[in-house]
Chains A and B, each alone.
Chain A
Amino acid sequence: MAGIDLAIPAGEVVAYLGPNGAGKTTTIDMILGLSVPSAGTVQVFGLEPRQAVRRGLVSAVMQNGGLLRDFTVGETVELASHLYVWTRPVAQVLERAGIVALADRRVGKCSGGEQQRLRFAMALLPDPALLILDEPTQGMDVEGRRDFWNAIRRDAATGRTILFATHYLEEADAYADRVVVIRKGEVVADGTAAEIKALASGRTVRATLPGDDDNALRALPGTLEVERRGDSVIVRTTDSDAMARYLLTRTDARDLEVAAVGLEEAFLTLTADEVLGP
Chain B
Amino acid sequence: MTTTLDRPTPALGGFSPKLVRLESRRVLRNRRTLIFTVIVPTVFFLIFGLNGAYANFRYGSGNVSAEVLISMALYGAVLATTSGGAAVSLERAAGWTRTLRVTPLTSAAYVAVKMITSLVLGALAVAVVYVVGALTGEPRMALWVWFVAAIATWLGSLVFSAFGLFIGYLLPSENVMQLIGFALMLFSFGGGLFIPLSQFSPVLRTMAELTPLWGLSQLVHYPLGGGAFRVAWVANVAVWLAVFSLGAAWRFARATERT
Interface residues of A (CB under 8 A from B): 10-11, 32-36, 45, 51, 53-57, 59-60, 62, 64-71, 75, 78-80, 82-86, 119, 122, 127-129, 159-161
Most buried by A among B30, B96, B102: B102
Output the residue of A10, A82, A128 with the most chain B CB within 10 A.
A82
Q: A56-B7, A75-B25, A119-B99 are in contact. List 6 more A-B contacts (CB 8 A).
A: A65-B94, A66-B96, A70-B30, A79-B22, A85-B8, A129-B3
State the CA gap A86–B10 with chains docked (Å): 9
Instruction: Please tell me if the beta carbons of A36 and B258 are within 8 angstroms of each other in the complex.
Output: yes
Residues of B within 8 A of A11 (CB): 1
Contact of A54 (CB < 8 Å), options: B3, B5, B10 = B10
Once A53-B104, A70-B29, A70-B30 are accepted as A-B contacts, the answer to whether A65 and B22 lie under 8 Å apart by CB is: no
A60 contacts which chain B residues (CB < 8 A)?
A: 102
How far does the Cβ of A48 sit from chain B's closest Cβ, in whole Å? 11
A34 touching B258 in the complex, CB below 8 Å, given contacts A70-B30, A85-B7: yes
Chain A residues whose CB sits within 8 angstroms of the CB of B22 once the complex forms: 71, 75, 78-79, 82
- In terms of DSSP, what is the predominant structure of the interface of chain A? loop
- The chain B residue sitting closest to A59, CB to CB, is B102
Q: How far is the CB of B4 from chain A (nearest CB, A)?
A: 9
B17 to A, closest residue via Cβ? A82
CA distance A122 to B173 in the complex (A): 26
B58 at the binding interface (Cβ < 8 Å): no
Residues on A with beta carbons closer than 8 Å to the beta carbon of B258? 33-36
Q: In the complex, which residues of chain A have a beta carbon less than 8 angstroms from the beta carbon of B19?
A: 79, 82-83
B60 proximal to A (CB < 8 A): no
The reply to whether A82 and B104 form a contact with Cβ atoms under 8 Å apart is no
Using Cβ atoms and an 8 Å threshold, which residues of chain B touch A56?
A: 7, 104
Check if B95 is an interface residue, CB within 8 A of chain A: yes
The residues of B that contact A71 with a CB separation of less than 8 Å are: 22, 26
On whether the beta carbons of B5 and A34 are closer than 8 Å, the reply is no
- Among all A-B residue pairs, the 9 with the closest Cβ atoms: A65-B95, A66-B95, A66-B99, A55-B7, A54-B104, A54-B9, A83-B103, A82-B18, A83-B14
Partner of A68, one of B9, B16, B94: B94
Residue of B18, B22, B91, B103 with most chain A CB atoms under a 10 A cut-off:
B103
Asked whether any CB of chain A lies closer than 8 Å to the CB of B201, the reply is no
CB distance from B108 to the nearest CB of A (A): 13
Which residues between 150 and 188 of chain B lie within 8 Å of chain A, taking CB atoms?
Answer: none
State which residues 14-41 of B face A: CB under 8 Å: 14, 16, 18-19, 22-23, 25-26, 29-30
Which of A62, A82, A129, A161 is the one whose CB lies under 8 Å from B16? Answer: A82
CA distance A79 to B99 in the complex (A): 12
B129 to chain A, nearest CB (A): 25
Contacts of A160 in B (CB 8 A): 1, 3
Q: Is B98 an interface residue (CB 8 A)?
A: yes
For the complex formed, measure the closest distance between the CB of B24 and the CB atoms of chain A, giving whole angstroms.
Answer: 12
